[in-house]
Amino acid sequence: MNAGAKKATGDLLLFMHADSKLTPESFKRMKKKMRPTGPAGGAFSLQIESERIPLRVISSLATWRAKYLNLVYGDQTIFVRTDIFQALGGFSPLPICEDLDFFRRLSRQGKVILLKEKTHTSARRWTTEGILYTTLRNITIGSLFLLGFSPHILSKWYSVIR
């Protein structure tokens, strides 16, 4: 992400997972909100692409978590003004929770926004690993990270699925 940001030439950076997508309308809304003197950055509401009720509930709870606890993960597609990104030194070189760490640091730089517009992310991990297991593991890793546990140890609990 830092390498991509270094090559970018615009005044706004968008970090989106490869298994996520935005509608053109959502992208336009973000651009409209992110004026040079506006918010430092933000994220989108989450929509896991599934009709399954548990995944719809998880999407809603993730959006609630972001809105009220200011805890945003990368699957919510983070955006930030380039000058703020550079002032923050980019993403920390962590093996996991670099997105959570970045958004927390971003929040201290100025106003952040959570758009009602959604980023649509794949349900593949939840359906492959199981909804309950994946959700509990994600909550555990995020919580332990916030409590100061080593990201290097926590990353061993999160398998890479390609």
- The per-residue pLDDT for range 122-153, each reduced to its tens digit, is 999 999 999 999 999 999 999 999 999 999 99
- Give the pLDDT band of residue 37 (cuts 50, 70, 90): confident
- Residue ranges and CATH numbers for the domains of the chain are 2-122 (3.90.550.10)
- Per-residue model confidence (pLDDT) at position 90: 98
User: Residue 32 and residue 47: Cα distance in Å, rounded?
Assistant: 21
Place of tokens 């409209």: 32
Asked if residues 82 and 2 have their Cβ atoms less than 8 Å apart, the reply is: no
- Please tell me the number of Cα atoms within 13 Å of 156 on its side-chain side: 4
User: Residue 103 and residue 45: Cα distance in Å, rounded?
Assistant: 14
Nearest to 114 by CA among 146, 84, 73: 73
Query: Is pLDDT above 80 for 161?
Result: no
Place of tokens 């100025």: 110
For residues 47-66, give the mean pLDDT.
Answer: 97
For residues 76-94, give the mean pLDDT.
Answer: 97
- Give the pLDDT band of residue 160 (cuts 50, 70, 90): low
Query: Is pLDDT above 70 for 162?
Result: no
- Which is higher by pLDDT, 14 or 162? 14
For residue 150, the 8-state DSSP code is: -
- Per-residue model confidence (pLDDT) at position 158: 84
